[in-house]
Amino acid sequence: MRKRLEMVSFRLEELGLTHIRNKDVIPRNIANNQSIKSIEEFSIVCEPVKEYTRNEDGTEYKMHSTFALFADACVSDSKDSLLFDDAVS
């Protein structure tokens, strides 16, 4: 699956999804329109919260909730994250 992930991601973009084009929106919101370089570099080796623990503090996320947390800027199974994991191991 990981071998196909990048190709499928581009195919989804061809169908109209904006997940690639809008990748910088969340880091810009977090950085309050300042430089996002540090957030980008750190987010590529991190992954979003796993096992649905995001709602532990009682925040209920709905379809139109804003995504403004660092975890929202991270990509599940990012290629850089996997390479970083291998290097650390």
Q: What is the CA radius of gyration of the chain?
A: 14
The residue to which tokens 């987010």 are assigned:
43
- Indicate the number of domains in the chain: 1
The stretches of the chain forming alpha helices (DSSP H) are 2-14, 25-30, 37-43, 70-73, 79-88
Residue type, 40: E
Residue 57 confidence (pLDDT):
65
Residue 15 is given by DSSP the state T
Q: Is residue 57 part of a domain?
A: no
What is the reported pLDDT for 61? 65
Owning domain of residue 19: 2-50+62-88
Summarised one tens digit per residue, pLDDT across range 27-74 is 998 898 899 999 988 988 887 766 655 566 656 666 676 777 788 888
Residue 28 falls inside a structural domain = yes
Asked whether residue 9 is assigned to any structural domain, the reply reads: yes
- With tokens 């503090």, the residue in question is 57
The reported pLDDT for the residue numbered 76 is 75
Q: What is the pLDDT confidence band of residue 79, given thresholds at 50, 70 and 90?
A: confident
Predicted confidence (pLDDT) per residue in 9-32, tens digit: 889 889 998 877 778 888 998 898
Whether 55 maps to a domain, the answer reads no
Per the domain annotation, does 75 fall within a domain? Answer: yes
In the chain, DSSP finds a helix count (H) and a strand count (E) of: 5, 0
Indicate the pTM of the whole model.
0.63
